[in-house]
Amino acid sequence: MNKPNQIKVVLVEPSHPGNIGAVARAAKTMCIENLVLVNPEEFPSGQARARATGAVDVLERAVVCHSLKEAIADCTFVVGASARERGLQCPEITPDNVGARVWQELEQGNVAIVFGRESSGLSNEELDQCHYLTTIPANWEFSSLNLASAVQVICYEIYSAYLKKSSTDKVVNNDLLSHTNADPLATIEQLENLFEHMQQVLQEIEFFDPKQPKLLMRRLRHLYSRARLTLVETNILRGILSATQKAMRQTNTLDK
């Protein structure tokens, strides 16, 4: 039998071990028990264990990664949490819609909710790896919640959507195109390979200049992120890219 799909709480570079413990506790109270830590400053830690109290098991099972890319590689739906508005950013989703949406997405793959550093939140590059950005509405003059409080609010929304779903079994509809399970969604890792390949080809055909990158690759990421590519579609695009490279090489050889 296949492993059931998971919801992961991902913390990017948390600096206070106490917060990691408090996050484990917050998530576990809402029945979310998969914690992924990207380059934590101090872990494992006695302070984290003390703050986790009844959720030490979540800490013990926490996975440590070296990059966000690695943390979300096996996911098909990723939401980043940020207190700040950004310039060019991924589409926004309200925390209550995150709750409803997560249960739809779990039918197709693993889901990650990504939280940023206590000091500086998530970088634009990290947010570009997310399908959506969610912001907890708060005092406009002081909107930055403590990390574990933010995790609590989002996990509460996910759990409360689960309770609603099981009582009515009605799931809020979403704005993106649905697709059949026969053609699974591409994982973040498969999409990253596509973006790498695409950048390489765009460079070869001199459409992309790495010395003057502007926003091209970020805009393309957002475009493909909105499309929710399946694995088959990703493979078609990569096939086109490979054929382009082959044609380029043949032309170059003929020119010589």
Query: Residue numbers of the site for ligand SAH (CB under 6 A)?
Result: 81-84, 115-116, 118, 120-122, 135-136, 138, 143-145, 147, 150
Nearest-angstrom CA–CA distance, 102 and 89: 20
* Comparison of 121 and 202: residue with beta carbon closer to ligand SAH: 121
What minimum distance in Å lies between the beta carbon of 92 and ligand SAH? 11
* DSSP secondary structure letters along 65-100: ESSHHHHHTTEEEEEEE-SS--SS-PPB--HHHHHH
* Distance from C-alpha of 191 to C-alpha of 219, rounded to nearest angstrom: 14
**Residue 7 or residue 136: which is nearer to ligand SAH going by CB?**
136
The distance of closest approach from Cβ of residue 173 to ligand SAH in the complex, given in angstroms and rounded to an integer, is 24
Q: CB nearer to ligand SAH: give 20 or 147.
A: 147
Q: Are 20 and 37 in contact (CB under 8 A)?
A: yes
At its nearest, how many Å lie between ligand SAH and the CB of residue 115? 4
Are the CB atoms for 20 and 11 separated by under 8 Å? yes
- Is the CB of 106 or the CB of 116 nearer to ligand SAH? 116
The answer to whether 62 and 36 have CB atoms below 8 angstroms apart is yes
Q: What minimum distance in Å lies between the beta carbon of 14 and ligand SAH?
A: 8
Longest pairwise C-alpha distance within the chain? 70
- Shortest Cβ 51–ligand SAH spacing (Å): 16
Q: Which is nearer to ligand SAH, 18 or 184 (CB)?
A: 18
The residue assigned the tokens 């939140």 is 121
| CB half-sphere exposure, 99, CA atoms < 13 A | 21
